[in-house]
Structure 1
C-alpha cells in the first residue's frame, strides 16, 4: 500500500464511521420523533413531496448565495444558527419526551441547543462540528424519513443526484455556498483531519484555493442526511412483521445503509484527485441499489403494491 494510501486510510475510515453513526442514530430516533409528532409532510405518499422539498432547498440556497454575495456574514451565521438550534431542540426534547414531562423536556432541549451553538461559536473545532453534525443530520433524516414513504424518497434521491452533479460540475454554485458558510464555521460540512495536529479553528477550510494541500477532507452534511432518509423510510415503510431483520433493523433499511457506505467508498476514488466532487451521485446510487437488492432478498415489495 502506498504512503498516500496509508495516510488516507484513517480519514477515509472516519468518513465511513460518520455515515454509519448518522444512519444508526437516525434509526434510534424513529420512535421518539414519531411520538413527538415531528412529521414534515401530512401525506407521506404524495409524489409532490420530493418536489416541494427540492423547491424549498433551492429557495434557501438562493437566499444564502445572495447573502454571501452581499458579504452579510452575520446574517448567514444567524440564519444557520437558528436552523441548527431548532433541529437540536426538537431532537433532544423528543429523545427524552417519553421519560420526563413535556415542560422539562422542552427546557432541556433549549439548553442543549444553546450549548451546542455556543460551542460552535466560541470553539468551532472539527470534533465539535462533527459531533453536532451527526446529531443534526440524524435528526433531519429521522424527521423526513418518517414523513416520506419509499417512492417519494426514491424520487427525491434521484433528483438530488442530478442536482448535486450539476451544482458542483456545471454551475459550481454549491462550491460557492459551501465555502461561504464554512467561513462562518457552521456545521453544514463534516471535517475529517488528515493529521492529528490539524485544527479547523486555526487553519479554516477553503474550497476556492486549490493550489495548496488542504489539512482535512470535507463531506457535506447532505451527503449523510439523504441516504439516511432512505434508511429511515425503509425501516418504517418496508420493514415490519415478517420482514427479515438484523438487530432490529429491517433488511431493506440495512441494505440502504450498507449501500450508502459502499457508495461513499467509491466516492473516495475521485476524491483522491483533491478536487471537489459531488457526493450524492455515488452515495444515493449506492443506497438505492442496496435497498433494492435487500427488497429482492426479503420479497419486501409492499411499498409498490406487490
Structure 2
C-alpha cells in the first residue's frame, strides 16, 4: 500500500527532526555552528547560492558519461567525510571524552568516538559503493540529516532562517515546475545511488541497487511503483527553523514543564507535517512535486501561529527579542 511508503518517509522525516533537537544544545555548547555571527544575513545568502550552483555543476558534469563514475566516487567520499564529522560530534556528546588504557593509563588515553565514527563512516561508504540498497541509502541520509539540521539550526537566528526558507521554497518551485532541472538532478542522483534522496519501498526486499532510473519509474502508474522518493533537502531545510526556534527563542514561560522555545519549535514541526500531508496527497497523482513550498510553508505558518500563542508578540522573534 502507498500509505506504508508515506508513513515510512514520515518516520524518517520526523525522526531526523527529533534527532536534531536532541543534538542542538550539545552541538551549540561544543561551538559547532557554521558561522561566527548567527544574525548575519550574508551567510544564508551564501548557502542559497551554494544550493543553486551545486546542482548546476552536477548536471554539467553528468552530461559527459565518462565523468559520471568519477563524480559518483567524489561525491561518495565527500558524503563519507560529512558522515564521519556528524557521527564523531554526536558520539562525543554521548560517550566519555576518553578512556584510559591500562596498564599505561597515565600515558595513553583512547577517545572512543574517533574510531567508532571512522568505522561507521567507512562502513557506510563501502556499502554505498558496492551494494547501495535502500536501507543503506536511508541510514546514511538519516544520519547526515540529523546532524546537518542541528548544525544549521544553531548557526542562524530566526530572521536569516526565514529568508533561507522562503528563498529556497521559491527556488524549488522554479527548479521543479519551470526549469525542471531539479527533476533531472533527481534522475542523476538515483542513477548514482547517492544518499541525497530518501527511498521508501513497498516491500523490504526491494533491490534499489538494480532499480531502473527514476525517469523510467515516472512512466509507471503511482499505485504500481515499487518505491517513493523524498529529497534530503526536503528533510533538512524546514528542520532548520525547528532547531533555530528551540535554540534562539526565550525559554520562558514554561508550559506543562516544557520551555516556550520548545513549544514554538514543535509548532514549526507540526506545521511542516501538515505541509508533508498536503505534499504526499499531490505526490499521489504521480507527478514530480516541489517539496519545499509545502514543507517550508507549513513550518513557517506553524511557527508564526505558535509564536503568537506562546509569546503574545508580533515581532515573531525576527528582531532578536520579543
Unaligned 5+ residue runs, structure 1? 1-6
Deviation at 1:18, TM superposition (A): 1.2
Instruction: Tell me the residue number matched to 1:271.
Output: 283
Could you tell which deviates more after superposition, 72-81 or 204-213? Answer: 204-213
Instruction: Summarize the alignment of residues 23-62 of structure 1 with structure 2, pairs less than 5 Å apart.
Output: 23-62=17-56
The answer as to 2:158 corresponding to 1:163 is: no
| Alpha-carbon shift at residue 244 of structure 1 (Å) | 3.5
1:217 is aligned to: 228
Residue aligning to 1:3: none
**1:23 to partner: Cα distance:** 0.4
Root-mean-square deviation over aligned CA pairs? 2.0
1:60-105 deviations in whole A, cap 9, x for unaligned? 2222111111221223212321232122112211122242238543
Question: Does residue 80 of structure 1 match 2:70?
Answer: no
C-alpha contact 1:93 1:106 (8 A) present in aligned 2: yes
Which residue of the partner structure matches residue 4 of structure 1? none
Instruction: Give, in whole Å, the separation in 1 of the partners of 2:230 and 2:14.
Output: 14
* Pairwise CA distance, 1:239: 4.6
Q: Which residue of 2 aligns with 1:140?
A: 148
Corresponding pairs, count: 300
Paired residue for 1:111?
Answer: 119
**How far apart in 2 are the matches of 1:188 and 1:281?**
19
Contact 1:130/1:190, CA 8 A, preserved across alignment: yes
| TM-score normalised to structure 2 length | 0.87
Q: TM-score, normalised by structure 1?
A: 0.91
2:215 aligns to what SS in structure 1? coil
Q: Higher Cα Rg: structure 1 or 2?
A: 2
Indicate if the aligned counterparts of 2:158 and 2:317 stay in contact, CA closer than 8 A.
no
The whole-number CA distance in structure 2 between the counterparts of 1:282 and 1:254 is 17
Query: Which of 239, 264, 286 matches 1:252?
Result: 264
Task: Please state whether the residue corresponding to 1:218 is helix, strand or coil.
Answer: strand
Q: How far apart are 1:241 and its partner, in Å?
A: 3.6
State the alpha-carbon separation in 2 of the partners of residues 246 and 120 from structure 1.
Answer: 43
Q: Deviations over 1:193-239 (max 9, x none)?
A: 12344221222441355322431111100000011111110110125
Distance 1:129 1:244 in 2: 39
Give the structure 2 partner of residue 292 of structure 1.
Answer: 304
Counterpart among 85, 89, 92 of residue 84 in structure 2 = 89
Question: Contact 1:36 / 1:97 at 8 angstroms: preserved in 2?
Answer: no
Alpha-carbon distance in 2 for matches of 1:125, 1:14: 16
